[in-house]
């Protein structure tokens, strides 16, 4: 099966009450760990690449890695641009073989976000590529988000409806309290499920995307810190909240930080326990296994997409 767009995956996910995992890829071991897990679990899969990943690993290499994943597995795999900041980067990915792109105009005012998203949608749809867009701001940990601030930052349901109607985007990333990175909550973790429910009702059947959805597993944080890491107090989105969101309108859940933690904790452990080793395969191999383990857990216990390929 060639690389696919996310359209069919999302239709099935919406109807089935589960979410597809979108995992960030930066190198071969990360990609292999993800694909091995999804293949073993027969789960549909979104491999996503940020502009930074594309700069680091280079477009052509990432394309070939994704093509190798497709050739060696039987699950549907989409290759998606994560947080495309302008038309140029989206065009470049579409021209270069991606089947799904995100145009992230969330930093702009509504009208400019609509304008740039429409531009990408027109180009992408002519070429069979799906488009994710975003409105609302993902609150950082520093925002001890009070009710008034929440209304300013989180996605406004009326705007979401208008935005989707005006742009024709295929999925929409919304802000309901998640944030990127390993420090998501100072106090009690909280997501605005009421807002998600309203948006879901106002946009029936329409796929919603949750960014900043790593759960920051505490065993990985502890392992990292045990072997010299300094990431005290890292906290993510509780898994039961992600599971709840996956049963609602959320069809795509983005995970990067958990993969970084798994990889780094494992490499730290290997370096400490085997200081005599200098063969990269000796630490990258276990790191790849750690990625596979964390992704398997997500697919089976959190996203609900195991067996849905």
Tell me the sheet residues that pair with 50: 82
CB 47 within 8 A of CB 75: no
> What angle separates helix 28-40 from helix 257-273, to the nearest 10 degrees?
110
Q: Which listed option, ligand 13P, ligand G3H, Zn ion, none, makes contact with residue 214 (CB within 5 to 8 Å by class)?
A: ligand 13P
Query: Dihedrals φ, ψ of 47, to 5°?
Result: -95, 125
Span near ligand 13P by CB under 6 A; candidates 53-61, 143-151, 187-195, 212-220: 212-220
Number of residues in contact with ligand G3H under rule CB under 6 A: 8
CB 73 within 8 A of CB 66: no
Applying CB under 6 A, does 189 fall inside the site for ligand 13P? no
Span near ligand 13P by CB under 6 A; candidates 113-121, 197-205, 253-261, 266-274: 253-261
CB 45 within 8 A of CB 35: yes
| Residue 51 or 161 with smaller CB distance to ligand 13P | 51
* Alpha-carbon distances of 274 from 230, 285, 286, rounded to whole Å: 21, 14, 12
Number of residues in contact with ligand 13P under rule CB under 6 A: 13
DSSP string, 194-221: HHHHHHHHHSTT--EEE-S-----HHHH
82 catalytic? Reply is yes
Span near Zn ion by CB under 5 A; candidates 12-20, 72-80, 210-218, 285-293: 210-218
| Residue 9 or 201 with smaller CB distance to ligand 13P | 9
Applying CB under 6 A, does 83 fall inside the site for ligand G3H? yes
Burial 44-54 (b: 16+ CB within 10 A, else e): bbbbbbbbebb
Applying CB under 6 A, does 269 fall inside the site for ligand G3H? no
Q: Catalytic residue among 82, 104, 156, 192, which? A: 82
| Residue 36 or 132 with smaller CB distance to ligand 13P | 132
Radius of gyration for the alpha carbons in the chain, expressed in angstroms and rounded: 19
Applying CB under 5 A, does 211 fall inside the site for Zn ion? yes
Q: Which residues between 34 and 73 bind ligand G3H (CB under 6 A)?
A: 50, 52-53
Residues annotated as catalytic (active site), given as ranges? 82
| Footprint of ligand G3H (CB under 6 A) | 24, 50, 52-53, 82-83, 180, 256
């Amino acid at each position: 099966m060639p690389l696919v767009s996310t359209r069919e995956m999302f239709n099935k996910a919406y109807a089935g009450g589960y979410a597809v995992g979108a995992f960030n890829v930066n190198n071969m071991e990360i990609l292999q760990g993800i694909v091995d897990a999804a293949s073993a679990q027969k789960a549909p899969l979104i491999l996503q690449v940020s502009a930074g990943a594309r700069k680091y690993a280079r477009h052509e290499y990432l394309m070939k890695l994704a093509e190798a994943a497709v050739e060696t597995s039987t699950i549907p795999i989409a290759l998606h641009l994560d947080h495309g900041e302008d038309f140029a980067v989206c065009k470049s990915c579409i021209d270069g073989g991606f089947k799904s792109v995100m145009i992230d105009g969330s930093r702009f005012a509504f009208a400019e976000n609509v304008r740039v998203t429409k531009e990408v949608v027109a180009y992408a749809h002519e070429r069979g590529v799906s488009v994710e867009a975003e409105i609302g701001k993902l609150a950082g940990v520093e925002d001890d988000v009070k009710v008034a601030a929440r209304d300013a930052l989180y996605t406004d349901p009326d705007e979401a409806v208008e935005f989707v109607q005006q742009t024709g985007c295929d999925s929409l990333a919304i802000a309901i309290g998640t944030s990127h990175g390993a420090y998501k909550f100072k106090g009690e973790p909280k997501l605005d499920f009421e807002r998600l429910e309203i948006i879901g009702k106002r946009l029936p059947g329409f796929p919603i995307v949750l960014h900043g959805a790593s759960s920051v597993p505490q065993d990985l944080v502890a392992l990292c810190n045990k072997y010299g890491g300094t990431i005290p107090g890292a906290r993510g989105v509780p898994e039961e909240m992600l599971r709840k969101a996956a049963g609602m309108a959320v069809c795509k859940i983005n995970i990067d930080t958990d993969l970084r933690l798994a990889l780094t904790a494992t490499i730290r452990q290997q370096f400490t326990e085997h200081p005599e080793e200098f063969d990269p395969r000796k630490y990258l191999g276990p790191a790849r296994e750690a990625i596979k383990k964390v992704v398997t857990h997500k697919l089976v216990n959190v996203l609900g997409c195991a067996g849905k390929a």
